Amino acid sequence: METASVLLQSRTIPFGFNLKGNQIISCRHFNKQLQSKGFYSQQSLKPIHNPSSFSLLPSPLRKTTRTQFLSPLKCSFSNISSSDSRNPLLEPFKILSFDSVKSTLSELTPIKIAKWVAIVSLGIAATKWTVNLVFNPFFWMYFSWSWLFWPWFVATALALYGLYAFRKHSIGEASIVEQLAIVTSVFTWLTLVPPAYFNGYLEGWPFVFFFVYHYFFFFNVSVRKRLYGDYYARPHDPKWDVNPPKWHRLLFCVGVMVGHWLAAFEAQELHRIPGGWSNVGMWILIVVTLLMQYNSTLYLAKYSEKVAVPTAVVQFGPYRWVRHPIYASTMLLFATYCLALRAPLSLLFVVAVCLMYYEQKAKLEEALMVETFGKSYLEYASKVRCKFIPFMY
């Protein structure tokens, strides 16, 4: 009823419609002439009792002199709603009731409430921190690589995971990824965090030594992979696990860490360290250090069982010049880092720490070598008198 009255009382209906009873209506704007067949203004409209029988169909209009550019539209009316119009997003709310909400709330416990409060609080805090950071002009004006590598929350998280991985490594359960995490966390705090802390940004040598340290200390792993096809040290005679007391090892680790932080404190600002050809000597020292470590480990592995148990006195490669070239290459690596940062006092400190520690370890190893190989090792020691540094006994 309402639909029919709206259509008939509209001022602009550019089509003709066919109602029941073969009544044909042609409707134009009211300032135009109404033309109809079988329908006049005095005729009355009867209410439509069955809306489904009502249809709007285009009917041909009387020919006029004007040209019709638009074809009439086909329309239909139906009181049946389509199932495709359902919104899937509203489906959960259809089954929502007071009883379901009440049952859900009754299942909550103080622990669950505390958990969700903590999650929501952390989400709000993280969102607020992110928004403040994004809209902070200071961040965009002074953004540098240091934001990626040394923020305290990243460095602390990496250190904690490294300690967890080291605990698993100490009981022989660390995977290769966890072993890599140990090395990465240590070298982050040796080469990246100190200069970033004292300079406020990172560039140049800290990045170089971060990757050089990785390559250097994974030489033994690469040799085991090459010889035995695995990344784990194989079982061996425990008598060759020669180490100074634990507190000596702890002091050595602390001394190396302090030496690297002193180097970052003593060094010039990173952008003031000269580049170009002035650093050719540094690159030569790095290459010499890597080759010395690689050749020493490889020659030692050739004359050893299960990597750690020697079967003969090695007298080839770097062992022709110093008796402990692996320790010497480690000292040279730390010294090269200090030289690259232009920190001579820190260099002397790190070398002194290494000499005190490796001197004790070398004495224990040489006593075991004399006990195992006797005269042959004594002859080698008399021929190669330098322990760590050539021409220094």
Q: What is the pTM of this model?
A: 0.60
> Cβ of 79: how many Cβ atoms within 10 Å?
8
- The mean per-residue pLDDT over the stretch 290-302 comes to 84
pLDDT over threshold 70, residue 98: no
Query: Which range is most confident: 76-85, 121-130, 274-283, 344-353?
Result: 344-353
- The mean per-residue pLDDT over the stretch 201-227 comes to 82
| 35 or 370, which is more confident | 370
| 268 or 257, which is more confident | 257
pLDDT of residue 185: 92
pLDDT over threshold 80, residue 122: yes
pLDDT of residue 349: 96
**Average pLDDT across the chain, whole number:** 75
pLDDT over threshold 70, residue 320: yes
DSSP secondary structure string for all residues of 90-159: GHHHHS--HHHHHHHHHT--HHHHHHHHHHHHHHHHHHHHHHHHHT-HHHHHS--THHHH--HHHHHHHH
| pLDDT confidence bin for 64, thresholds 50/70/90 | very low
- Please say whether the beta carbons of 47 and 61 come within 8 A: no
Kindly report which listed range (80-94, 202-216, 378-392) carries the lowest average pLDDT score: 80-94
| pLDDT confidence bin for 230, thresholds 50/70/90 | low
pLDDT of residue 329: 93
pLDDT above 70 as % of the chain: 65
pLDDT over threshold 80, residue 255: yes
| pLDDT confidence bin for 86, thresholds 50/70/90 | low
Query: Which range is most confident: 102-111, 115-124, 185-194, 229-238?
Result: 185-194
**What b-and-e string marks burial along 230-242, b requiring 16 or more CB atoms within 10 Å of the CB?**
eeeeeeeeeeeee
- The pair of three-digit structure tokens given for residue 364, joined into one six-digit string: 């224990």
